[in-house]
């Protein structure tokens, strides 16, 4: 009876991870698309950033929709991290005796990758928000009230671009495996053909997101996106 309850809550936790993960996926796809406006130049990018703050006016106050999105994202983050931590602790407890020989199976490698990848993305997010939203840190000492110029000043610095590219690789790997796990949780991997489809979809989405995001920092570094 105890076992049945535990496996029911494990399923609920995995569902929590999958559903909050889908919220993030929607956000990163939209955010990546928006970032590509940097290739259209200063005014197009800044108008887009301003437009995001005006959507829904006058029904909603200034930045109203943005705040609804922010609250939704924070809630998804809390659910995602909480479920992950509980699931890890549960998996560690289930293994009452430590492995004598540490065999690296595919499953343990994947879960280690998800754990460290997730932490890397979380650390990146802290720096990212300090960089562009909460702190608006311009390491070149230039203006911080112009989103486009802040972006160019940031990625003109090679090591900042490198940090972002490494984070986007971690994000790509996380999405690749995460989409596969979510498909399993949601019961979309019942046959060999469905499994193959889930793997392909996961790979293609991960590639689009990591390459799509990386294009802007690399575009600045290559001198294609300039002030
Ligand atoms: C190369 C990759 C990325 C670039 C160049 C980038 C760029 C930006 C910029 C310029 C802003 C400020 C927008 C504005 O002020 O209107 C921003 C905000 C933000 N970004 Fe990114 N971003 C990247 C990747 C990501 C990723 C992977 C995530 C999530 C995992 C993310 C999450 C956010 C969040 C949560 C905000 C704050 C939105 C808000 O509340 O106003 N970004 N990003």
Question: What are the pLDDT digits (tens) for 25-61?
Answer: 999 999 999 999 999 999 999 999 999 999 999 999 9
Helix%, strand%, coil% for the chain, nearest 5: 80, 0, 20
Ligand 1 atom having least distance to the Cα of 151: 10
Ligand 1 atom having least distance to the Cα of 27: 29
Split at pLDDT 50, 70, 90, the class of 95 is low
> 43: burial class by Cβ within 10 Å (0-12, 13-18, 19+)?
exposed
Contact of 139 with 212, CB cutoff 8 Å: no
Q: What mean pLDDT do residues 145-160 have?
A: 97
CA geometry: angle at 61 spanning 53 and 75, to 5°?
70
Predicted local confidence at residue 103, as pLDDT: 60
What domains can be seen in the chain, in order of their start residue? Answer: 2-221 (1.20.1300.10)
Predicted local confidence at residue 100, as pLDDT: 59
Q: Whose CA is nearest to atom 9 of ligand 1?
A: 132
Q: What mean pLDDT do residues 90-119 have?
A: 77
Predicted local confidence at residue 97, as pLDDT: 61
Question: What are the pLDDT digits (tens) for 164-179?
Answer: 999 999 999 999 999 9
Which of 71, 121, 133, 164 most suits a substitution to test ligand 1, by most atoms within 8 Å of the C-beta?
A: 133
Contact of 147 with 49, CB cutoff 8 Å: yes
Q: What mean pLDDT do residues 81-88 have?
A: 95
pTM: 0.92
Which of 27, 132, 215, 220 most suits a substitution to test ligand 1, by most atoms within 8 Å of the C-beta?
A: 132
Split at pLDDT 50, 70, 90, the class of 1 is very low
The secondary structure of 144-175 as a DSSP string is SS-HHHHHHHHHTSHHHHHHHHHHHHHHHHHH
Question: What are the pLDDT digits (tens) for 105-117?
Answer: 666 788 899 999 9
- Segment (H or E) for 197: helix 192-221
């Amino acid at each position: 009876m105890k076992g049945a309850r535990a496996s029911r809550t494990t399923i609920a936790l995995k569902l929590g991870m999958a559903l909050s993960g889908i919220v993030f996926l929607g956000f990163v796809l939209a955010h990546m698309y928006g970032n590509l406006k940097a290739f259209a130049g200063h005014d197009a990018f800044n108008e887009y950033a301003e437009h995001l703050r005006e959507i829904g006016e006058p029904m909603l106050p200034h930045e109203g929709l943005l705040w609804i999105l922010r609250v939704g994202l924070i809630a998804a983050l809390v659910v995602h991290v909480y479920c992950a931590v509980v699931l890890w602790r549960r998996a560690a407890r289930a293994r009452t005796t430590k492995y004598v020989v540490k065999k690296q199976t595919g499953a343990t490698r994947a879960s280690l990758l998800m754990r460290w990848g997730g932490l890397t993305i979380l650390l990146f997010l802290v720096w990212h928000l300090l960089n562009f939203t909460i702190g608006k840190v311009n390491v070149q000492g230039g203006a911080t009230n112009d989103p486009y110029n802040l972006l160019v000043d940031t990625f003109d610095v090679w090591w900042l671009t490198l940090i972002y590219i490494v984070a986007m690789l971690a994000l790509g790997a996380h999405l690749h495996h995460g989409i596969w796990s979510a498909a399993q949780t949601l019961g979309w991997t019942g046959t060999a053909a469905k499994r193959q489809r889930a793997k392909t979809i996961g790979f293609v989405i991960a590639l689009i997101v990591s390459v799509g995001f990386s294009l802007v920092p690399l575009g600045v570094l290559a001198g294609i996106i300039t002030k």
